[in-house]
């Protein structure tokens, strides 16, 4: 290998995220939601009426994947979809009252983990981590350093 594993920041990020998702997955299971379903509901709470394609971008999954997720959520009565009034081919998706309720339940579980995470850092350290992760994202997307 041309680069030692210990130097690879990407592996560190991946490992931390996998442990985090494993914990969230276990927490959300009690609410009957997968991480992907929870992410979709969460995004819908912030952006009601968003299209499936936009929702897919917000959750960083493929449109087909999001379509499958929405199909399950709709089947459970957690979301409802209706044609956009102006653009007929676009389906606006919104949380139902049940969806809002279940999201609230699941989110309490998720927030427990977020709090454990937040408790491990000072406000300054948390801001630092946020900044470093944002710069990592920018670097992955190909943006030159210090350009933002």
Between 71 and 130, CB nearer to DNA = 71
CA distance 60 to 1: 30
Q: Are 98 and 77 in contact (CB under 8 A)?
A: yes
Residues ≥6 apart with Cβ < 8 Å to 69: 36, 37, 40, 61
Identify which range of 41-49, 72-80, 82-90, 91-99 contacts a second copy by CB under 8 A. 41-49
Per the document, the length of the chain is 148
Contact 36, 69 (CB under 8 A): yes
Shortest distance, position 81 Cβ to a second copy, whole Å: 22
Q: Fill in the per-residue mask, 50 to 89: x = in contact with a second copy (CB under 8 A), - = not in contact.
A: ----------x-----------------------------
Nearest CA among 87, 75, 105 for reference residue 50: 87
Within 4-81, residue ranges assigned H as helices are: 9-29, 35-46, 52-59, 63-75
Q: Where do contacts with DNA occur on this chain (CB under 7 A)?
A: 25, 29, 34-37, 51-54, 61-65, 67-69, 72, 86-91
Q: Which stretch binds a second copy (CB under 8 A): 48-56, 76-84, 85-93, 133-141?
A: 133-141
Place of tokens 């897919």: 56
**Site for a second copy, residues 91 to 120, rule: CB under 8 A:** 104, 107-108, 110-111, 113-120
Q: How far is the CB of 32 from a second copy (least distance, A)?
A: 19
Minimum distance from CB of 37 to a second copy (Å)? Answer: 15
Does the protein bind a second copy through residue 145 (CB under 8 A)? yes
């Amino acid at each position: 290998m041309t680069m030692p594993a210990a130097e690879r920041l990407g592996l560190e990020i991946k490992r931390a995220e996998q442990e985090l998702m494993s914990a969230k997955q276990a927490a959300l299971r009690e609410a009957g939601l997968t991480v992907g379903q929870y992410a979709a509901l969460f995004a819908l709470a912030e952006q009601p009426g968003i299209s499936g394609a936009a929702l897919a971008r917000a959750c960083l999954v493929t449109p087909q994947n999001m379509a499958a997720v929405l199909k399950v959520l709709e089947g459970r009565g957690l979301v409802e979809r209706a044609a956009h009034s102006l653009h007929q081919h676009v389906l606006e998706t919104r949380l139902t009252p049940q969806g809002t309720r279940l999201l609230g339940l699941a989110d309490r579980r998720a927030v427990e983990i977020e709090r454990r995470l937040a408790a491990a850092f000072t406000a300054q350290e948390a801001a630092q981590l946020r900044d470093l992760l944002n710069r990592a994202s920018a670097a992955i997307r190909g943006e030159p350093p210090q350009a933002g």
